[in-house]
Structure formats: C-alpha cells, structure tokens
C-alpha cells in the first residue's frame, strides 16, 4: 500500500531535520593530544591498507596476466607461421629471415604503443584477433606467388604482410599493459628497461620451448596441425579481446572452412585432388608429423609415386610397371631415383670373407619409401630400420613396397645408436646403410664424429657401410663430411649419382648431387681396396633400374670438392661444433628448392 502524502511530508521533514543536525562538539583539550593524533593516524593507515592492498594486488596481477597471455600467444603464432611456410619453401628458407623480422616488429610495436593508442578509435588489443584469424587465408593467397617470389624472398614477403603486423601490434599492447606495472621499488634505470627486456626474454623462451613441443606432438590432433593451430590461436586472441570487430573475420573464416585445401580434413583433400586432377596429379594421403608435412603424391600421367616431406622428396617408385609384363610377381618396385639402387651395392663389395645373405644382418638408418630395406629383405637379409617419423614408416608400408618382415625402430637414430653401441663390443651388423636427407640440408647430428664412431662400433670387422650424402659440391660441407667419415672408416670410395656437368656448374655456380660413400673397417693395403664384384641376375631382382644404377660408376676424387687457397681447414665435424655446416645450410637449401621445383609443378607444392 502506498504511503499518503501527509506521511511523505512528515518523513521528509524528519530526514531534513536529521541531516541538519549540528556536528558533535569536540573538546580540543582532550582530542588533539599527541596520543590521540597518533592513534588516529594508525587507524587511518590500517583502514587505507585494508581497503587498497587487495585491489592493488588484483590490478598488478591483471597487468602481468594480460601481458603474459599475449606473449605466449605471440610466441606460438611465430612458430605456427614458420610451420605454415615450410611445405611451400622448406624449413630452412622459412627460418632464414624470421628471427630478424620478429625482432624488428617487436621494436616497432614497443616504441609506437602510445601513437597506436591515440590513432585508433578503439583499443589496439581488439584488433589482434582480426589479424590472427586472417593469417591462414592471407598465407594461402600469398603462396600462389611462390614461384615468382622464390625461396629467397617468399618467406620474407609473406611474413612481412602477415606476421609482422601481428607481432608489432602485440608488442604495442604488451607495452601498454606494462605501463600499469608498479616498479617504483626498483631503481629508475632498471624500472625503465625491465619491461622491454623481460617481455622479449619471456617471448623468446616460450618460442624456443614451444617449437620443440609443437614438433613432438605435430599432427596428433587436428588442432595441432599447421592451419588448425593458427585457428586455435586466433580463437584464443578472440577470447582475450572480444569485440564487434570479430565480425570482420567472417570472410577469412569462411575461406578457410570452404576453400583452404591445406586444412587436414577429408573434404579439403577431395577439393585439393579436384584441383590437381587437371594437372595430372593426385594425393593419396597426407599427415603432419615430427619431421614435417608428409604426403604421398602420384603422377597419374607418368605413372610414378613419390613421398614428400615439406619441400623435399624422400623417394619414389614407378607404379605403372607393377604387375605388368616382366615385372609381374616382383618382390621389389622400380625406384624412381637411381641413387637408392646404388646403396644396395654394399652387397657387391668384395671382402676377404664373403658375407652370406641368409646369415647377414643389416641396419638401415633413414627409411624413405623403403627402396633399400625392401631389396635387402628380398635378398633374405635380416634388416633393422631406424626411422624417426612414424608417418614415414606408415606410408612406406601402405603405399610403397616396404615388406612387413623387417624390424622397425621408430626412434631418433642418435639416441638409438648411443644406447646400442654402449652394449656392443664386436659389432652387430654386416651392412649399414646411412640414408638421411631432407629439406636441402643434412641432419648434422647424423654426420658427426661421435655418431659415425657409433656406427663403426656397430659394424662387424668384415662388414660394409654405405653413406648417402646429398649436397652442393661447390660448398665446403661435402668436404667436411667426407673428411669426418674417412677419419672413422680408413678405407672408402665415393661415387656420384650422375657425372659432373662442368657447363652447368659454370653457368649456375652450383653442383648439387647425391653421392654414396662406401667404407669398411679394414685398413687400406695392397690386399684390401674397395672393389665390386659383377652383379648377377639375382642381385638385380629383375629390375631395369638396378641394372642401370646398382653398380657404382661415377667416382668422386678429392679434386671434385670445393676448396681454395684462402679457405681454412674446417677440421672434423663434432657434436659440439656443428656451426661450421649450419652456416652453409641457407645457400644449400635454396639450391635444393630450385631443384625440387623442376621435379613437381608449383601447384603441387603450393596446395600441399
């Protein structure tokens, strides 16, 4: 029931009277004593502390939590960007300018945070989800120009237009957040420098750590694939800074869902094969794994099948001959690359005590499509394969002629040989095949003195090792690797896949080729030099490719390796001194990229 007008008036008068009461009388003789003044100050301080300390802690926690969240997302975004470019340009070219570009973007963003805050009609942090969610679509568009940009400039141009804005804006937002950090307890010079230095240190630490984690768990779920990770990061940015600006990302999200052939879904693969069909190609399967993006590609027109890892090829077979004519019932397929048949010539090396196939044991480091281990098994040799990537082993079994009756070790070869060599005294294997290569550069740990010494321990005294090395003979790395191999194995001979083309070397200043180094543990003498017996029909396995390439033909001499009077002696390659090869990886990888573009058309590389 509503109060009457009279009651309202009466209540109003009472309230007025109450508010107009005179203040209580204070006796100055009793209130302004030193004791009472100190007591009041203590009460005020206690009250202020109880009221502001939790708020202060909460405010500071928010400052550091927001900054840390942005730094973590940024570090993951940088790794995701490199991963997305590696199938198109290779891992080494994708990383060539990455660190410098990121550092420049961090500096630009950090120094312009005040300008951005005033120039934009909204908080700069709200723009981060838009930039992040547009990354996949923009990268997809820019990769169409990879043939024009080449591996030298493609990654730099692509990341300048995609990653650079994201890094710069993130740095600006972190700087803005940290303006609210209370660093008054620190000296002024340290308080000024610590936010920037600390932020960059946290960013680099997370970037380095997450790079290994992302590689280890790559492809286990859709969310841990290249495009999937970028979408997850974009969604994380959106949760951190939601706004109506997210409506602007709908075209990018629609493109990724409907048109992006790189998304690891069945529908995307079907769309991709629809695109490749007109070019005469098909992708049977694909998977992102620990060594990169692995796929099985087939030329329908020419009848051969290849296994791809990022912007490199691990091997291939001619499928058009399977079950046809003289090849009907063959135990092995025809290899596309002759160098893989040459590795099988370890069986042809003449040794003082001949090795019987049925009693022999072989260790193959690096599987590829399984050409060499398949042939060894066909000869009745007990074969162990060490392969770090489970996807490579899975595809070799499923889409190539790798027989199942072999021992598979899915493990890093360095740790495996370290462990096995520590348990071995007189050798385990009659043959060792060392065949590892990807992305235009050798995996350096597998060519170090220490790794080769492990192989020396694992090889029986009367055994043979064959080491495949692919590189540019005009650069120092092949010479360093061969010198290290010869230091461990006293007797060696080296053969190229094809003869040196002096005219091509003069025109292009490169001499990229595969070579196979055959070695034994026996010391060189008049009684022991590496020679090969003539192959029998059984050695050839009814294979024209082996008939043409099994017997090594194009021998390499010391004069074939690049050297000059001004070059210093690099010495041996050891685990603690791998920089001597790493510095040449960029140039070697760029040359390898150009070679790969002559094997498969750009449409295959660019669409994954």
**What is the chain's mean pLDDT, rounded?**
87
Q: Which of 227, 287, 289 is nearest to 252 (CA)?
A: 227
Mean pLDDT along residues 215-234: 89
Question: According to the model, what pLDDT value does residue 47 have?
Answer: 61
pLDDT tops 70 at residue 591: yes
- Phi, psi (rounded to 5 degrees) for 174: -65, -40
Percent of the chain with pLDDT over 70: 90
Q: Is 160 exposed, middle or buried (0-12, 13-18, 19+ CB in 10 A)?
A: middle
End-to-end Cα, the chain, rounded Å: 77
Question: According to the model, what pLDDT value does residue 22 have?
Answer: 52
Question: According to the model, what pLDDT value does residue 48 have?
Answer: 60
Question: According to the model, what pLDDT value does residue 31 have?
Answer: 52
Question: According to the model, what pLDDT value does residue 7 have?
Answer: 45
546-to-4, 344, 399 alpha-carbon distances in Å: 111, 9, 21
Percent of the chain with pLDDT over 90: 62
19-to-7, 15, 26, 514 alpha-carbon distances in Å: 18, 6, 19, 98
pLDDT tops 50 at residue 1: no
3-state secondary structure of 409: strand
37 pLDDT tier (thresholds 50, 70, 90): low
The structural domains of the chain, ordered by start, are: 51-264 (1.20.1250), 333-575 (3.40.50.150)
Mean pLDDT along residues 577-600: 85
Mean pLDDT along residues 17-35: 52
Place of tokens 């492809």: 219
pLDDT tops 60 at residue 380: yes
CA distance 172 to 117: 9
Mean pLDDT along residues 559-569: 64
Which bin fits 571, alpha (ψ -120 to 50), beta or left (φ > 0)? left
Mean pLDDT along residues 81-90: 94
pLDDT tens digits, 312-345 = 999 999 998 887 877 877 888 889 987 789 999 9
3-state secondary structure of 117: helix
pLDDT tops 90 at residue 116: no
CB 336 within 8 A of CB 313: no
Question: According to the model, what pLDDT value does residue 56 have?
Answer: 78
Mean pLDDT along residues 497-524: 84
∠478-348-360 over CA atoms, to 5°? 100
Which residue did the predictor score with more confidence, 588 or 147? 147
580 pLDDT tier (thresholds 50, 70, 90): confident
CB 107 within 8 A of CB 177: no
pLDDT tens digits, 471-502 = 888 888 888 999 999 999 989 999 998 888 88
Q: What is the pTM (predicted TM-score) of this model?
A: 0.85
pLDDT tens digits, 45-75 = 666 665 567 787 888 889 999 999 999 999 9
pLDDT tens digits, 351-378 = 989 999 999 999 999 999 999 999 999 9
Poorest-pLDDT segment among 417-426, 473-482, 486-495, 563-572: 563-572
CB 158 within 8 A of CB 83: no
Question: According to the model, what pLDDT value does residue 5 have?
Answer: 42
Which bin fits 476, alpha (ψ -120 to 50), beta or left (φ > 0)? alpha
In order, the DSSP letters of 491-558 are EEEEEESS---HHHHHHHS--EEEEEEEEESSPPBTTB---BPPPPHHHHTT-HHHHHHSS--EE--G
* Strand order across the 512-520 sheet: 407-410, 382-387, 361-365, 429-435, 459-472, 512-520, 491-496, 554-555
pLDDT tops 90 at residue 287: yes
19 pLDDT tier (thresholds 50, 70, 90): very low
CB 432 within 8 A of CB 363: yes
511 pLDDT tier (thresholds 50, 70, 90): confident
- Phi, psi (rounded to 5 degrees) for 528: -140, 110
């Amino acid at each position: 029931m509503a109060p009457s007008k009279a009651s309202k008036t009466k209540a109003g008068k009472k309230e007025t009277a109450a508010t107009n009461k005179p203040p209580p009388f204070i006796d100055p003789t009793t209130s302004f004593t030193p004791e009472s003044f100190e007591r009041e100050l203590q009460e005020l301080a206690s009250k202020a502390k109880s009221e502001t300390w939790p708020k202060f802690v909460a405010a500071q926690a928010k400052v550091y939590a927001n900054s840390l969240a942005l730094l973590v997302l940024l570090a993951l975004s940088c790794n995701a960007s490199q991963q997305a470019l590696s199938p198109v340009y290779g891992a080494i070219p994708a990383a060539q300018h990455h660190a410098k570009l990121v550092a420049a973007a961090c500096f630009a963003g950090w120094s312009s945070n005040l300008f951005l805050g005033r120039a934009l009609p909204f908080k700069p942090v709200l723009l981060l989800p838009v930039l992040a969610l547009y990354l996949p679509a923009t990268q997809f568009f820019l990769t169409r120009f990879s043939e024009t940009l080449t591996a030298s400039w493609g990654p730099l141009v692509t990341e300048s237009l995609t990653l650079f804005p994201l890094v710069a804006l993130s740095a600006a937002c972190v700087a803005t957040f940290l303006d609210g950090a209370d660093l008054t307890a620190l000296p002024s010079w340290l308080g000024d420098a610590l936010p920037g230095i600390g932020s960059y240190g946290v960013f680099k630490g997370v970037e380095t750590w997450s790079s290994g984690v992302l590689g280890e768990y790559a492809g286990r779920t859709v969310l841990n694939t290249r495009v999937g990770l970028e979408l997850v990061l974009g969604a994380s940015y959106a949760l951190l800074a939601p706004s109506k600006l997210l409506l602007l990302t709908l075209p990018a999200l629609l493109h990724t869902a409907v048109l992006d052939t790189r998304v690891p879904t069945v529908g995307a693969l079907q769309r991709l094969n629809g695109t490749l069909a007109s070019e005469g190609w098909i992708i049977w399967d694909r998977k992102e794994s620990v060594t990169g993006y692995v796929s099985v590609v087939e030329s329908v027109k020419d009848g051969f099948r290849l296994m791809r890892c990022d912007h490199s090829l691990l091997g291939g077979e001619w499928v058009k001959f399977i079950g046809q004519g003289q090849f009907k019932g063959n135990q092995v397929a025809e290899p596309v690359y002759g160098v893989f048949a040459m590795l099988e010539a370890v069986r042809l090396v003449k040794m003082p005590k001949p090795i019987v196939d049925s009693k022999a044991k072989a260790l193959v480091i690096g599987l590829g499509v399984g050409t060499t281990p398949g042939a060894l098994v066909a000869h009745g040799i007990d074969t162990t394969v060490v392969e770090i990537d489970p996807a490579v082993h899975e595809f070799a079994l499923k889409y190539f002629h790798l027989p199942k009756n072999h021992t598979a070790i899915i493990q890093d070869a360095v740790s495996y040989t370290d462990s096995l060599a520590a348990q071995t005294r007189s050798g385990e294997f009659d043959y060792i095949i060392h065949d590892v290569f990807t992305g235009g550069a050798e995996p350096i740990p597998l060519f170090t003195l220490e790794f080769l010494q492990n192989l020396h321990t694992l090889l029986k005294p009367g055994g043979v090792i064959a080491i495949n090395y692919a590189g540019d003979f005009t650069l120092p790395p092949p010479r360093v690797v061969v010198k290290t191999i010869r230091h461990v194995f006293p007797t060696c001979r080296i053969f190229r896949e094809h003869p040196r083309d002096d005219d091509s070397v003069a025109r292009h200043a490169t001499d990229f080729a595969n070579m196979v180094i055959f070695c034994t543990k026996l010391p060189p003498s008049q009684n022991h030099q590496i020679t090969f017996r003539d192959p029998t029909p059984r050695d050839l396995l009814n294979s024209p490719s082996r008939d043409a390439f099994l017997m090594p033909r194009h021998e390499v001499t010391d004069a074939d390796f690049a050297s000059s009077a001004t070059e210093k002696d690099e010495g041996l390659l050891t685990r603690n001194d791998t920089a001597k090869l790493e510095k040449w990886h960029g140039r070697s990888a760029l040359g390898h990229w150009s070679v790969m573009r002559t094997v498969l058309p750009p449409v295959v590389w660019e669409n994954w």
